[in-house]
Amino acid sequence: MLESIEKLREAGRYADESGHTLAHAMCIPLDLDGVTNLEVAHAFADAIQAEVDERYMELPLDADGVPIRVGDKMKLSKDRVGTVVAVSETQFTARVSSREEKPVCQANLAHHFKPHTVEDVLREFAYKVCDLNVADEAIAKYAVKIREAVSADE
């Protein structure tokens, strides 16, 4: 927990219990007695920002603007998929499959990997070989049958 935010919460509790204004209560944990409300608010904002700057790092963003976190699956070059094992502000390192290869990748050039669903595969197939007016209905029907078949085999 950020210490500066905890001080803000303490000030709120003190104001609630003592009947003082929040502005007065906010002065106490920062030793700011006698300053204006705006100066108190700026002091708290500065304390919170300093703590965030010291302790946290922004996550890198993929090509779609989505934050990349450790554990995410990413599409890499040459149709490979890797699991993110480390991040920096603009790059990530991914483990590729079961191999020990760990390429460093530029975050803004990569995309998150989203595996195809049974419906995705059936839709692609249906649009290539069927009447498009009945494809969605057929996809739903046959996706159920495929899942039943797969679970029966397990």
DSSP state, residue 65? S
State the pairing for strand pair 111-112/104-106: unpaired
- Say if residue 141's pLDDT is above 70: yes
Question: What's the predicted TM-score (pTM) here?
Answer: 0.56
Task: Say what the pLDDT of residue 65 is.
Answer: 95
- Say if residue 127's pLDDT is above 90: no
DSSP state, residue 59? P
Residue among 147, 149, 154, 119 nearest 135 (CA): 119
Express as a percent the part of the chain with pLDDT over 90.
Answer: 23
H-helix segments, 19-131: 22-27, 37-55, 118-129
Task: Say what the pLDDT of residue 80 is.
Answer: 84
Higher per-residue pLDDT: 66 or 12: 66
- Say if residue 99's pLDDT is above 60: yes
> Which pLDDT band holds residue 98 (cuts at 50, 70, 90)?
low
- Say if residue 47's pLDDT is above 70: yes
Going from the C-alpha of 21 to that of each of 42, 74, 144, the distances in angstroms are 17, 50, 62
Residue among 40, 45, 9, 46 nearest 27 (CA): 40
Task: Say what the pLDDT of residue 151 is.
Answer: 76
**Token pair of 141, please?**
């029907």
- Nearest 5 degrees, angle CA 1-CA 11-CA 3? 20
Q: How far apart are CA 14 and CA 3, in angstroms?
A: 16
- Say if residue 35's pLDDT is above 60: no
